[in-house]
Amino acid sequence: MIELRNVTLKYGERVILDKVSLTVRDNTIKAVLGPSGVGKSTVIKLMLGLIKPNGGGQVFVDGVDITPLKEADLYPIRRKMGIVFQGNALFDSMTISQNMSFFLRENLRLPDDEIERRVTEQIHFAGLEGYEDQLPESLSGGMKKRVAIGRALIFNPKTILFDEPTAGLDPVSSRKILNLIASLKKSNDLGAVFVTHIIDDVFAIADEVAVLYQGKIIFDGPTEQLHESEHPFIRSILSDKILEL
Ligand SMILES: Nc1ncnc2c1ncn2[C@@H]1O[C@H](COP(=O)(O)OP(=O)(O)OP(=O)(O)O)[C@@H](O)[C@H]1O
Ligand SMILES: [Mg+2]
């Protein structure tokens, strides 16, 4: 569904990703694990076409090479993917319902009753009944994350992209969000890619994991095979559990 093929990405002279190849298959939960500042958010931005490989390589979405596409041609491509940002990126002055419907209203010309139907569906899925008319500030971190997930799902994407879905959440809320991501695969036939620096999140729900370290993918395969890697960095994170800076 989404593929980075030999992607090299530089910021100025600094090479962040060095010929990185990575595939996210349909109906699969793929984790991209890596330490802080390694280029995880950059991977997400490349998948959405928000930035382009500037040192060579291609990005494919559903078999289409999106690297040469102009902004206007990227919109229908992006609609196949839902995105949940690290800080959620909710609109502070809008209610939960308005947050969920905003992009739907702006981008698709759907009738009001269809918008309302989809918002109700997501409110229910996210377990936010009774909070429809509240502002985000009155919600806990885990609830805000669920609003952001609902807002991403409302377009019926094929794949959902998460940037550090559990960052800043307490263990119980983290667990709930991870369960929610896992349930999307089962109930909605959705694929997901999430980038994280927390190895426990990977073992909790990822079918496959790619490990990004110093610009390279040093492991890519089924999560249960990670233990078999002999790469020193992977050995060290398996013993320390949480990645260090
Ligand atoms: N627009 C930019 N211009 C220059 N450097 C950038 C830019 N965006 C990111 N960087 C640098 O590129 C590197 C990778 O950034 P990126 O945000 O992808 O990392 P990350 O793995 O998501 O980090 P974090 O764990 O902090 O979220 C970082 O060192 C960052 O400082
Ligand atoms: Mg990041």
- Two structure tokens written together for 78: 């992006």
Over residues 213-227, the mean pLDDT reads 97
pLDDT at 89 over 70: yes
* pLDDT surpassing 50 at residue 236: yes
pLDDT at 216 over 70: yes
Which has the closest alpha carbon to 240: 204, 201, 199?
199
Of all protein residues, whose CA lies closest to atom 6 belonging to ligand 1? Answer: 11
Element (H, E) at 152: helix 141-153
Domain(s) of CATH 3.40.50.300: residues in the chain: 1-80+160-245
Residue 42 in contact with ligand 1 by CB distance below 6 A: yes
The answer, yes or no, to whether any atom of ligand 1 lies below 6 A from the CB of 37, is yes
Lowest mean pLDDT among 35-39, 58-62, 239-243: 239-243
pLDDT in tens, 23-43: 999 999 999 999 999 999 999
Q: Ligand 1 pocket, 196 CB below 6 A?
A: no
Q: Tell me phi and psi for residue 93, to 5 degrees.
A: -90, 0
Does the beta carbon of 181 lie inside 6 Å of ligand 1?
no
Is the pLDDT score of 243 beyond 70? no
pLDDT for 108 equals: 79
Residue 244 clears pLDDT 70, i.e. is over it:
no
Position 242 scores a pLDDT of: 61
When pLDDT is averaged across residues 83-107 and rounded to a whole number, the result is 92
**Ligand positioned closest to the Cα atom of 40:** 1
Spatial distance between the Cα atoms of 126 and 224, rounded to a whole number of angstroms = 29
Ranges of H-type helices in 154-194: 171-188
Checking if the pLDDT of 72 tops 50, the result is yes
Which residue out of 4, 8, 16 has the highest number of ligand 1 atoms within 8 Å of its CB and is therefore the one to mutate? 16
Q: Does residue 38 line the site of ligand 1, with CB under 6 A?
A: yes
- pLDDT at position 178 over 50: yes
Across the strands, what pairs with 211?
33, 219
Q: What pLDDT score does 241 carry?
A: 60
Tell whether the model's pLDDT for residue 46 goes beyond 60.
yes
| pLDDT of 245 strictly over 60 | no
Q: Is 39's C-beta closer than 6 angstroms to any atom of ligand 1?
A: yes
Lowest mean pLDDT among 83-97, 101-115, 169-183, 215-229: 101-115
Question: In the CATH scheme, what is the code of domain 1-80+160-245?
Answer: 3.40.50.300
- pLDDT for 109 equals 78
Reduced to 3 states (helix: H, G, I; strand: E, B; else coil), residue 153 is helix
Residue 240 has pLDDT above 90, yes or no: no
User: Is 233 a residue whose pLDDT tops 70?
Assistant: yes
Give the closest residue (by CA) to ligand 1 atom 14.
Answer: 39
**Under DSSP, is residue 240 helix (H, G, I), strand (E, B) or coil?**
helix
CA of 42 to the centre of ligand 1 (A): 7
- Cβ burial 140-155 (10 Å sphere, 16+ → b, else e): ebbbbbbbbbbbbbbb
Report the residue among 32, 41, 213 best suited for mutation to probe ligand 1: largest number of ligand atoms under 8 A from its CB: 41
**Residue 196 near residue 202 (C-beta atoms within 8 A):** yes
What average pLDDT does the segment 125-153 reach?
94
**Which of 86-90, 168-172, 208-212 has the highest average model confidence (pLDDT)?**
208-212
Question: Which of 155, 139, 161, 141 shows the shortest CA–CA distance to 100?
Answer: 155
Q: Is the CB of 54 inside a 6 Å radius of any atom of ligand 1?
A: no
